[in-house]
């Protein structure tokens, strides 16, 4: 499952961690021109707070000798409904972000349109327990793998046999990571592969 060299503590996160999650998200994804990395800190904090207060599996990883968060994972059932709720209730703030970052927003819109009208969706049935995101500061190798392993354990303990996630087709680093960790591509939709693994 990968080797990690620093001693990590895995702790259930709570709403007080929302802004720390937002900071780490923005730091990790800014160079990859993710539209969500353009969100203001408080908006992204509100996004993560939905999951932190909503009964989802949210684990943070911290080095035993440090105070800052080195990574986190958000997973569970009903993720799509929460994301839709967030978009609906923050439409104006999201549009304002788009206006302030037109290049990144335009790139996202072009990708959505391209994959929607040129891509071929393959039918698949996603499992109930999904990973929304695994974020690691990459200070040491293996933090993401350790978070994934912990999430799979919690998934199994909650009575699920499989765990799934979506990965953008152009995110080769993430695809390689999940394939290396026994996930298989089970489907495709609008520029994303749906991947799944047994727990």
Residue 54 lies in a domain: yes
Give the gyration radius of the chain's Cα atoms: 17
Please count the structural domains in the chain: 1
- What does the pLDDT profile of the chain (199 residues) look like in tens digits? 455 556 888 899 999 999 999 999 999 887 666 789 899 999 999 999 999 998 899 999 988 777 789 999 999 999 999 999 999 999 999 999 989 888 877 777 777 777 666 655 666 889 999 999 999 988 778 899 999 999 999 999 999 999 999 998 888 999 999 999 999 999 888 778 999 999 9
Sign of CA dihedral 55, 59, 65, 68: negative
Q: Domain range for residue 53?
A: 8-198
Residue 2 lies in a domain: no
Kindly report, residue by residue over 178-196, the tens digit of the pLDDT.
Answer: 999 999 999 888 778 999 9
Residue 3 lies in a domain: no
Tokens of 187: 């489907």
Kindly report, residue by residue over 62-77, the tens digit of the pLDDT.
Answer: 887 777 899 999 999 9
SS3 state of residue 197: strand
State the DSSP H helix or E strand holding residue 115, giving kind and residue range, or none if neither: helix 102-118
The domain that holds 18 is classified in CATH as 3.40.630.30
Cα–Cα dist 154/2, whole Å: 18
Cα–Cα dist 76/51, whole Å: 9
Share of the chain above pLDDT 90, in %: 61
Residue 173 lies in a domain: yes
Q: What is the pLDDT of the chain when averaged over all its residues? A: 88
Contact 57, 149 (CB under 8 A): no
Extract the runs of DSSP E, i.e. beta strands, from 107-150: 130-136
Residue 29 lies in a domain: yes
SS3 state of residue 186: strand
Residue 80 lies in a domain: yes
Residue 44 lies in a domain: yes
């Amino acid at each position: 499952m990968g080797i990690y060299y620093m001693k990590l503590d895995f702790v259930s996160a709570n709403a007080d961690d929302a802004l720390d999650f937002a900071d780490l998200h923005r730091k990790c994804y800014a160079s990859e021109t993710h539209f969500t990395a353009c969100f203001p800190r408080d908006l992204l904090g509100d996004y993560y707070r939905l999951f932190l207060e909503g009964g989802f599996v949210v684990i943070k990883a911290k080095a035993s000798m440090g105070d800052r968060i080195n990574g986190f994972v958000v997973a569970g059932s009903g993720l799509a409904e929460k994301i839709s709720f967030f978009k609906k209730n923050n439409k104006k703030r999201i549009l304002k972000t788009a206006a302030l970052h037109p290049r990144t927003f335009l790139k996202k819109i072009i990708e959505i349109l391209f994959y929607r009208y040129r891509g071929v969706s393959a039918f698949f049935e996603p499992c109930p327990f999904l990973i929304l995101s695994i974020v690691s500061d990459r200070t040491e190798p293996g933090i993401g793998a350790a978070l994934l392993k912990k999430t799979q354990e919690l998934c199994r303990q909650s009575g699920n046999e499989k765990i799934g996630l979506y990965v953008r087709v152009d995110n080769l680093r993430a695809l390689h990571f999940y394939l290396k960790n026994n996930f298989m591509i089970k489907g495709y939709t609008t520029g994303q592969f749906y991947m799944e693994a047994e727990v």
